[in-house]
Structure 1
Amino acid sequence: MFRPLSIFVGLRYTAAKRGNHFISFISLVSMLGLMLGVAALIVVLSVMNGFDRELRQRILGMVPHATLAGYADQGLDDWSVLREQVLAQSGVAGAAPYVQAQGMLTSRGRVQGVLVNGIDPVLEPGVSIIAQHMQAGELNDLVAGEYGIVLGELLARFLGVEVGDKVTLVLPEASISVAGVIPRLKRFDVIGIFSVGAELDANLAYIHMTDAARIKRMPAERVDGLRLKFDDLFTAPQQAQQIARSQSRPLYVNDWTRTHGNLFQAIQMEKRMIGLLLLLIVFVAAFNIVSTLVMVVTDKRSDIAILRTMGATPSTILRIFMVQGIVIGLIGTALGVVLGVTLALTVTDLVAWIERMLGIEFLSADVYFISYLPSQLIWSDVGMITLAAFAISFVATLYPAWRASRTQPAEALRYE
């Protein structure tokens, strides 16, 4: 005889064509519900991971992972020496100087607040992705003394300027003359436009760091600080603090968790909440497994009684019906994983095809920072979803199987 007996009988009950079609239908529904729940979890979490990746690459590609600056706006005169020391540290991917100023850009009667970054166009690509997202012009067109400026695409559109036009930078400092208080103004030539598809396109501009030092009335060789890029952005706060402590002078440290950390925390919170909500679908499917096995136990009372009279122990009966529930859970989970992984890998192309077929745009570039539905499949998420779904379906088999093991043969066969 096939051993062990519980697996043999449990598989026979699962594969057999039962006369009660309603039980078969409920079993199929519970399996499909488990499959859809698992697939939905994988797809939605993959899309959330895709949005997280796009935000990380686009926003944190422009925003420094960390910065080192002098205290009390003293700046750094020997920034090149400090840069070499920083690059010698493990985990540091790049370092570049910057001079930062806040002001307003005006053109054709329009005014927009802006954060102006004075950069070295040669070193900046080591800490920023701006060079890869230039829509017009080149970053290397920034030349010291020529007062060129690179604008974000939304900022240029608002001001109504293109490459070759002029804009006026107004700094929040005033000069006192015989004519009264005169704000500090400087004309710049627009030599480039960039677009990263994020809010930074509307309030960020780049000029050469020498020009930035001049308009801030700083020595030409002085900078505000160094922008740092790390191999692992999540270690940036700790590594930046360690680098600052290793220096003989005090340095002010800032990192991305202070400037944009709340945005990524919100995404992680949404991912967890959506995951928990979609997990309810798996719980509903598990309740269906419970109802299926309860009806099977009721339907097979006479078979259970015969097995008991032939020497089957309560633990054997328990395992028989646990096998049946586990098989339903395994099949539903496996089909859900296959469907979910397939959709997660193709959802970007699938949504794009639907947009072309229907002539609509789900994510407008004018509203959202990306115009397509991103997806990133993380296998650890797939593993956790699979384990959770199987664990829930396993727990769902315990009560019906225990109820079957408590069946008394004499009582079950009394009216047969």
Structure 2
Amino acid sequence: MYKLMLCLRYLRTRYIALASIISVTLGVATMVVVNAVMSGFSHEMHIRLHGILSDVVMESHSLDGFYQWQKHMDAVKAVAGDDIEDMTVTVHVPAMLNLRVRDQWYPRQVTVIGIDDETYNKVSDFSKYLKHPANRQQVDFNLKENGYDGPDDSKLVESGWEYRRDKIKYQRELEDEMRRFETLHQTGRMPEARRTNPNEFAAMPSPLGENGAADVDVVTPKFADDPSAPPLPGPPPADLADRMAKKATQAVNALAAAGGDPFAQRYKQPESNTFDPMKHQAPGIILGMAVASIRQRDADGNVKDIFLAVPGDDVRLTFPSAESPPKAISETFTVVDFYESKMNEYDAGFAFVPLSKLQSLRYMTHPELGSAISTIQIRLKPGANLQEFTNRLRSEFPAEVYPFRIQSWKDMQGPLLAAVQMEKTILNILLFLIIGVAGFGILATFYMIVVEKTKDIGILKSLGASGGGIMSIFVGYGLSLGIVGSGVGCILGLLFVWNINHVARLIEIITGQEVFDPTIYYFQEIPTIVEPMAIVMVVTGAMLIAVMASVLPAIRAARLHPVEALRYE
């Protein structure tokens, strides 16, 4: 009983121990915060990396892909069908994407992935990161009317069919206006001075807003008030082009029906077969958000996304064919959606197109072998052992024999995941040294107490206290310091974690600088995950360090002889 009483008395009256408690508290709180933040970042990274990759990928050795993939899929199901939830195939090819902005072409290097919109979402979380609500339910490559979300779920006002029709209409009216102006210039109806004076042209602002992707700087004549100048004709009707096309089609069909031209029948086509960009779209393409936009700060310091293309714009894609030697193939695609995983590696490097279209353009079909693919992607059932499944497939389908290699998504992202784990481990070791420093403080404090309390120790021993009892006083004192310090540190650390985003905003207000620059980091809040096992390990480790630091002073006190302790008293 006297041991507990002395421990509590020392804890209340020895204020020098307060420094040791504060050291342990700060060390534990820091470790709790760092573990929660690192676990949050690691979890977010795993989700983002796994969002576009299936659990297991069977990847072709060559860019041309491999045929008879259905037989390989059947063989995989025969080997490990019980663990497989779903499968799909894709085609991967490096490509050059060209965006037309202000009458100039902007190239972007991307990896084009041909996907089956019916099955791809069954093996990955791809649709969850698309910006149109309908595509998040079931992805397809059809342009939607409107309703697209922008970065960070802000609304992308000008996009979709509504934006596309307005843009094409504006371009057609502009072309008509320029043709009329050129006709007036060539026929001499404009005065010579007016034809040569460059001041009579002014830049006309783009009717497309800030989110517009194809802002075009155009010129229009600006005449001075001159009674002698002939008036310009008014704007043509909006449906003039459609009416002219309909009349031309009717005339050709009538000529063919009358037999006036034996070859005219080949031109007789339904009006719906004529490509009209206001009514029809090119093959759809889904771009990574960072491929088609630039995030930067404006003059006021506000973060702004500048779009080079939005859903409804046409882009040009150039990629190699599957021939030998390969040839460059170019095709026009219509942007139908954005993909935003908030992992720059994906958002700035991937574009998705229909699988069948990409196979057709790259000549990846064979009259006997069928179509070729680049990867077979497999999603496992919940609870299946990923590493065991991968090793089983590798043993059954060795890369030396089969035209593909087998990797799990963790293998494909191994260096990045290993780097994050190594960073977390090193930070834990370095921060644990803070608690170690606090342990040395406890050690020095206890040695001072033993020296100061030599007389008291001698009296206790002369009254019958054993060496083990004296030792347990100091060990218990150290344990109490560890319990109080680690307990308070754990509470402070958890409170900091739960309010870390508020603390970050407070730091931003005080320093005037953002904790995480949104032009670099594509997230608005700091992700945190509190792992109970990590908390238990940190608290237990802090308590053990405090106890171990008190052992040596306790042994010295236990070995004191009462006669030696009281000799000079």
Range into which the TM-score falls when normalised by the shorter chain: 0.7 to 0.9
* 1:7/1:319 contact within 8 Å kept: no
Q: Single out whichever of 405-414 and 223-232 deviates more from structure 2.
A: 223-232
* 2:11/2:17 contact within 8 Å kept: no
- 1:61 is matched with which residue? 51
The count of corresponding residues between Structure 1 and Structure 2 is 402
CA deviations 1:331-380 (Å, max 9, x no partner) are 11111122222322332454356547876432123212433211111111
- 1:317 is matched with which residue? 470
Provide the C-alpha distance between the structure 2 equivalents of 1:11 and 1:91, rounded to a whole number of angstroms. 59
Provide the C-alpha distance between the structure 2 equivalents of 1:253 and 1:376, rounded to a whole number of angstroms. 32
- 1:7 is matched with which residue? 4
Of 163, 186, 210, the residue aligned with 2:311 is 163
CA deviations 1:222-255 (Å, max 9, x no partner) are 4333212346799534313424655799453133
| Residue 129 of structure 1 pairs with residue 121 of structure 2 | no
1:217 offset after TM fit, Å?
0.9
- 1:396 is matched with which residue? 549
1:188 offset after TM fit, Å?
0.8
Q: Report the AA paired with residue 98 of structure 1.
A: T
SS of residue paired to 1:154: coil
1:10 to 1:246, Cα distance in 2 relative to 1, 3 A: same
1:155 to 1:361, Cα distance in 2 relative to 1, 3 A: same
Of 405, 408, 413, the residue aligned with 2:558 is 405
SS of residue paired to 2:131: strand
CA deviations 1:312-340 (Å, max 9, x no partner) are 12221111111111111111111112222
| Residue 89 of structure 1 pairs with residue 89 of structure 2 | no
* 2:320/2:329 contact within 8 Å kept: yes
Provide the C-alpha distance between the structure 2 equivalents of 1:333 and 1:348, rounded to a whole number of angstroms. 24
Provide the C-alpha distance between the structure 2 equivalents of 1:391 and 1:239, rounded to a whole number of angstroms. 40
Q: Report the AA paired with residue 155 of structure 1.
A: V
* 2:471/2:554 contact within 8 Å kept: yes
Taking only the aligned residue pairs, the percentage that are identical comes to: 26
Provide the C-alpha distance between the structure 2 equivalents of 1:173 and 1:238, rounded to a whole number of angstroms. 37
- 2:378 is matched with which residue? 228
- 2:233 is matched with which residue? none
* 1:321/1:400 contact within 8 Å kept: yes
* 2:282/2:314 contact within 8 Å kept: no
Q: Single out whichever of 265-274 and 321-330 deviates more from structure 2.
A: 321-330
1:76 to 1:175, Cα distance in 2 relative to 1, 3 A: closer
Of 426, 449, 457, the residue aligned with 1:296 is 449
1:193 to 1:288, Cα distance in 2 relative to 1, 3 A: same
Q: Single out whichever of 205-214 and 341-350 deviates more from structure 2.
A: 341-350
| Residue 141 of structure 1 pairs with residue 294 of structure 2 | no
* 2:321/2:361 contact within 8 Å kept: no
Q: Report the AA paired with residue 142 of structure 1.
A: F
* 1:98/1:226 contact within 8 Å kept: yes
Q: Report the AA paired with residue 132 of structure 1.
A: K
Q: Which residues in structure 2 correspond to 1:158-307 (within 5 Å)?
A: 160-173=308-321, 183-199=328-344, 200-219=346-365, 222-230=372-380, 235-243=385-393, 245=395, 250=402, 251-307=404-460
1:166 to 1:347, Cα distance in 2 relative to 1, 3 A: same
Q: Which has the higher helix share?
A: 1
Provide the C-alpha distance between the structure 1 equivalents of 2:421 and 2:394, rounded to a whole number of angstroms. 29
1:208 offset after TM fit, Å?
0.8
Provide the C-alpha distance between the structure 2 equivalents of 1:311 and 1:14, rounded to a whole number of angstroms. 24
Q: Report the AA paired with residue 430 of structure 2.
A: L
Q: Report the AA paired with residue 352 of structure 2.
A: Y
- 1:106 is matched with which residue? 98
1:90 offset after TM fit, Å?
4.5
1:141 offset after TM fit, Å?
3.1
Q: Report the AA paired with residue 404 of structure 1.
A: A
1:257 offset after TM fit, Å?
3.5
SS of residue paired to 2:139: helix
- 1:26 is matched with which residue? 16
Provide the C-alpha distance between the structure 1 equivalents of 2:480 and 2:387, rounded to a whole number of angstroms. 48
* 1:150/1:207 contact within 8 Å kept: yes
Q: Single out whichever of 269-278 and 88-97 deviates more from structure 2.
A: 88-97
Of 502, 525, 537, the residue aligned with 1:372 is 525
* 1:65/1:233 contact within 8 Å kept: no
SS of residue paired to 2:320: strand
Provide the C-alpha distance between the structure 2 equivalents of 1:399 and 1:316, rounded to a whole number of angstroms. 15
* 1:348/1:375 contact within 8 Å kept: no
Of 18, 28, 35, the residue aligned with 1:45 is 35
* 2:507/2:515 contact within 8 Å kept: no
* 1:79/1:226 contact within 8 Å kept: no
1:315 to 1:10, Cα distance in 2 relative to 1, 3 A: same
Q: Single out whichever of 181-190 and 349-358 deviates more from structure 2.
A: 349-358
SS of residue paired to 1:49: helix
1:353 to 1:232, Cα distance in 2 relative to 1, 3 A: farther
Q: Structure 1 stretches (4+) deviating beyond 4 angstroms?
A: 69-72, 173-176, 231-235, 244-249, 352-360
SS of residue paired to 1:141: coil
1:203 offset after TM fit, Å?
0.8
Where does the alignment leave 5 or more consecutive residues of structure 2 unmatched?
143-280, 295-306
- 2:226 is matched with which residue? none
In terms of Rg, which structure is larger?
Answer: 2
Q: Report the AA paired with residue 10 of structure 1.
A: C
1:107 to 1:289, Cα distance in 2 relative to 1, 3 A: same
1:354 to 1:10, Cα distance in 2 relative to 1, 3 A: closer
Q: Single out whichever of 266-275 and 312-321 deviates more from structure 2.
A: 312-321
